[in-house]
Amino acid sequence: MPPPDVEAVAEQVFAALADPTRRAILAALAAGGPATATDLAGRLPITRQAIAKHLALLAEAGLVTAEPGERRRVRYRLRSAPMRVAQQFLAALARDWDGPLDALKDHLDQHVADPRDADRGLNTSRRQD
């Protein structure tokens, strides 16, 4: 099986995490373990039907998985794999930024050692009559 498209997985994770209710559902699952939509509705201030809709979006993003429970009740469990993919995406993005930002910092450190030099450098573009 080919590796997942990191950017596509990260996009789904970020879209899912953009909603505060979905973040609350994930936090409730992280704190209390697997739960049904009814269990979660008892812990959160939204209806079971709204929870079910959010759980469907979280499942689509791969952040939760539905498991058959007792008496035909579906329990939802967190999945960390998509979150790790999103973290890897962010880490790679940070590396891409860190290099140029470090180079800029080094450049500024070399050329603007004294704040008075910076003032003189900024003033050189003004016309002097």
Instruction: Write out pLDDT tens, residues 69-96.
Output: 777 789 999 999 998 988 888 888 877 7
Average pLDDT, the chain: 83
Q: Is the pTM of this model over 0.85?
A: no
Task: Kindly state the DSSP code that residue 63 receives in the 8-state scheme.
Answer: S
Place of tokens 């962010």: 90
| Local confidence band at 2 (pLDDT 50, 70, 90 cut-offs) | very low
> What percent of the chain clears pLDDT 90, i.e. is strictly above it?
50
Give, in degrees to the nearest 5, the angle at Cα 119 between 114 and 120. Answer: 95
Rg (C-alpha) for the chain, rounded Å, is 24
Residues 6+ apart with CB under 8 A from 69: 36, 75
Q: What is the pLDDT of residue 87?
A: 87
